[in-house]
């Protein structure tokens, strides 16, 4: 696991030494991703530079140093990630008489040999792994960027500057790109809208104008002679899902579970290869417990496992992880974190995540990554089990809800929604409290008017896709919140995606695999872990597992209300059912309570009306009204406010004292 950056095109300097000085400055911002080694390569004649920071995991010797040249020296590669089947690829190269004289045993060298033999596209199609890379072809003078199939590893790119001074920047994190003197720092207000809606900025967008994220499963090529980037897709999750639904597995339940067990076991085995200590995150849930069980079944020594616990019982899963670890015989470490200790990390979150990111589970994720890094260099994760095996409760909830309301005509439902919203939340609260035990059971808790207003939004939905967008949105109309913005089109808010043959629940799973998983979950884990120089691996995202999961009939995922049915059957072969069967918990923190209590002063400073107006990004009145309602306990706006606070914190950290000055010119143009 590493980080890389670079540029192609003009710089404000001339000569190799000046280019290298810029490159070194950019690469230094990625030191946390690779503290073990750094390398730099420049070709001043063609205006291309590659910088690399190395976290040594496979082949700790100097033979793994990057940027690395292929044996004939046609290709120069900067690579981040792991190719789990690289030894098999070496065997194939050797069997075909295409292998060079190997200098070491790194997967980077294997990739380069593959590029020489099969081309870049032919090699990545053969590779099993997670990766992002930049490779310069000296023969064609072309730069190619590549990203893994699902999007485990990040990669930003884009042209900055004008005319002959324009430069194509790329890298693992925005921190590196910002260090280039041509970087323009223009905030994309449309991308900010997306963060307000989803708590993250989905690919291909980034928080900066002119800078994009490379989509998963894609290769991009660019050159000085052909500056418009060309993108080709070498693997499509959408096509894999469609093919799985068209041609489902027909071997019966027992054979399906056997096959899934074998595929997962093989994926875990391949990902356990490392030249540094290896462990796993363990929450005690189905996904992480399955990964750990398969690790321990293939390990001669106790696997190191790590859990974070909270003293607030509603947020604590550590006790469940402890029971699973005891049964499997792992070398388990848990750390109970006080609320005060967790809150101390909040101001640092913006630096960890590099661009605005507001999934509040970012905090416990960062804490467990720090814990694991004390003992291991690689940690396995159970992410993606929910998306592949129908684990999220919202899937069944949305389907039930839609069945209940779909029979009523849309105009009638929208009329009812308007009537509900026409009565203030506080008025509904007073009326329903007055009814006491005669009020509907679902409306007897605190803030029943808040629930009614949210339910009105569901009533007004024209279809299940719109309903699901509402369920996964925070701010319903972020373009009204962000001054001068238009919300960009995504898979979720644009025309309904074409997922032929899928029912409503399968559509939600497909959308999550294409959006929520790579744009939120994988970003959160990558940034939290790499901030402390920890490599994470996700066995469920072996593309062979993904392809098979989508061939499983839906009844083997959701069976009579039981989610993850096939995956549970695999787990029960290693862990007793009694240790697993319990209500699903989220990996979160009590954000709402903290904002009313110990984080109040921090939030108040970031949400000060004069500050919001001076910066010019948000409608200050809209933000403040929600802040006042939240503080008074009239409404629970914790997620809406956390979205704004994480942007405000990021803006402060990215621009420092110049934050207001940077924002003011743009704000002046909009008013």
Give the sign of the dihedral formed by CA 17, CA 38, CA 221, CA 519. negative
- 193 a catalytic residue: no
Q: How far is residue 20's CA from residue 42's CA, in Å, rounded to a whole number? A: 7
3-state DSSP assignment of residue 235 = coil
In 199-346, alpha helices (H) = 237-246, 253-271, 286-297, 318-328, 339-344
Query: Token pair for residue 193?
Result: 């809208």
Backbone angles phi, psi at 624, to 5 degrees: -65, -35
Please give the full DSSP string across 58-90, using - where no structure is assigned.
S--SGGG-SSEE-TTS-EEEEEEEEETTHHHHH
The closest alpha carbon to 129, from 96, 168, 81, 171, belongs to 81
Which residue of the set 2, 42, 193, 390 is catalytic? 2
**587 within 8 A of 321, measured Cβ to Cβ:** no
Task: Give the CA distances from residue 457 to residues 260, 592, 626, 638, in Å, rounded to whole numbers and listed in that order.
Answer: 40, 22, 18, 18
Backbone angles phi, psi at 281, to 5 degrees: -75, 140
Give the sign of the dihedral formed by CA 94, CA 98, CA 101, CA 107. negative
Q: Say how many C-beta atoms besides its own lie within 10 A of residue 339's C-beta.
A: 17
Q: How far is residue 646's CA from residue 475's CA, in Å, rounded to a whole number? A: 14
Please give the full DSSP string across 366-421, using - where no structure is assigned.
HHHHHHHHTT-SEEE--TTHHHHHT--HHHHHHHHHHHHHTTS-HHHHHHHHHHHH
């070496």: which residue's tokens?
90
Q: Which residues are catalytic?
A: 2
């Amino acid at each position: 696991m590493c980080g890389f950056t670079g540029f192609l095109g003009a710089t404000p300097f001339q000569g190799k030494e000046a280019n290298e000085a810029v490159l070194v400055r950019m690469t230094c911002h990625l030191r946390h991703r690779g503290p073990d080694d750094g390398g730099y390569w420049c070709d001043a004649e063609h205006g291309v530079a590659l910088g690399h920071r190395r976290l040594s995991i496979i082949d700790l010797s100097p033979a793994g140093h990057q940027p690395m040249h292929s044996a004939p020296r046609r290709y120069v590669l900067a690579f981040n990630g792991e190719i789990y089947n690289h030894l098999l690829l070496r065997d194939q190269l050797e069997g075909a008489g295409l292998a060079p004289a190997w200098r070491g045993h790194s997967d980077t060298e294997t990739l380069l040999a593959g590029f020489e033999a099969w081309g870049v596209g032919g090699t990545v199609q053969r590779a099993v792994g997670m990766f992002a890379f930049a490779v310069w072809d000296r023969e064609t003078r072309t730069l190619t960027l590549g990203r893994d199939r699902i999007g485990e590893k990040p990669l930003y790119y884009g042209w900055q500057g004008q005319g002959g001074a324009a430069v194509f920047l790329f890298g693992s994190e925005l921190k590196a790109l910002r260090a280039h003197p041509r970087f323009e720092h223009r905030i994309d207000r449309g991308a900010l809208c997306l963060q307000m809606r989803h708590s993250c900025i989905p690919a291909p967008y980034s928080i900066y104008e002119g800078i994009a994220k490379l989509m998963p499963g894609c290769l991009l090529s660019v050159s000085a002679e052909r500056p418009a980037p060309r993108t080709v897709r070498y693997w499509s999750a959408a096509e894999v899902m469609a093919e799985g639904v068209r041609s489902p597995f027909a071997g019966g339940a027992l054979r399906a579970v056997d096959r899934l067990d074998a595929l997962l076991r093989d994926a875990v085995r391949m990902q356990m290869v490392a030249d540094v200590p290896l462990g796993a995150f363990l929450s005690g849930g189905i996904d992480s417990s399955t990964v750990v069980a398969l690790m321990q079944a293939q390990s001669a020594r106790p696997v190191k496992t790590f859990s974070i616990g909270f003293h607030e019982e509603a947020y604590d899963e550590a006790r469940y992880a402890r029971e699973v670890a005891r049964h499997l015989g792992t070398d388990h470490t848990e750390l109970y974190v006080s609320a005060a200790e967790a809150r101390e990390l909040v101001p640092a979150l913006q630096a960890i995540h590099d661009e605005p990111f507001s999934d509040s589970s970012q905090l416990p994720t960062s804490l467990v990554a720090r814990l694991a890094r004390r003992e291991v260099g690689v940690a396995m994760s159970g992410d993606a089990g929910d998306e592949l095996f129908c684990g999220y409760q919202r899937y069944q909830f949305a389907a039930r809800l839609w069945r209940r309301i779909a029979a009523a005509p849309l105009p009638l439902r929208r009329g009812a929604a308007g009537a509900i919203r026409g009565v203030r939340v506080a008025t509904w609260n007073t009326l329903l409290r007055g009814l006491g035990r005669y009020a509907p059971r679902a409306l007897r808790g605190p803030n029943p008017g808040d629930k009614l207003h949210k339910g009105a939004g569901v009533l007004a939905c024209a279809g299940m896709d719109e309903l699901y967008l509402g369920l996964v949105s925070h701010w319903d109309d972020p373009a009204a919140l962000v001054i001068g913005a238009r919300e960009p089109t995504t898979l979720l808010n644009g025309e309904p995606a074409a997922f032929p043959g899928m029912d409503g629940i399968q559509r939600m799973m497909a959308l999550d695999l294409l959006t929520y998983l790579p744009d939120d979950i994988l970003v959160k884990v990558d940034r939290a872990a790499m901030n402390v120089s920890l490599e994470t691996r996700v066995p469920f995202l072996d593309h062979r597992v993904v392809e098979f999961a989508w061939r499983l009939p839906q009844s083997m995922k959701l069976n009579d209300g039981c989610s993850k049915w096939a995956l549970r059957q695999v787990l029960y072969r290693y862990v007793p059912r009694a240790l697993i069967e319990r209500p699903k918990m989220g990996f979160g923190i009590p954000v709402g309570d903290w904002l009313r209590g110990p984080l109040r002063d921090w939030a108040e400073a970031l949400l000060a009306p004069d500050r919001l107006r001076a910066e010019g990004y948000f409608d200050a009145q809209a933000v403040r009204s929600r802040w006042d309602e939240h503080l008074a306990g009239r409404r629970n706006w914790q997620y809406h406010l956390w979205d704004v606070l994480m942007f405000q914190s990021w803006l402060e950290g990215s621009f420092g004292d110049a934050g207001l000055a940077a924002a003011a010119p743009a704000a002046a143009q909009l008013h």
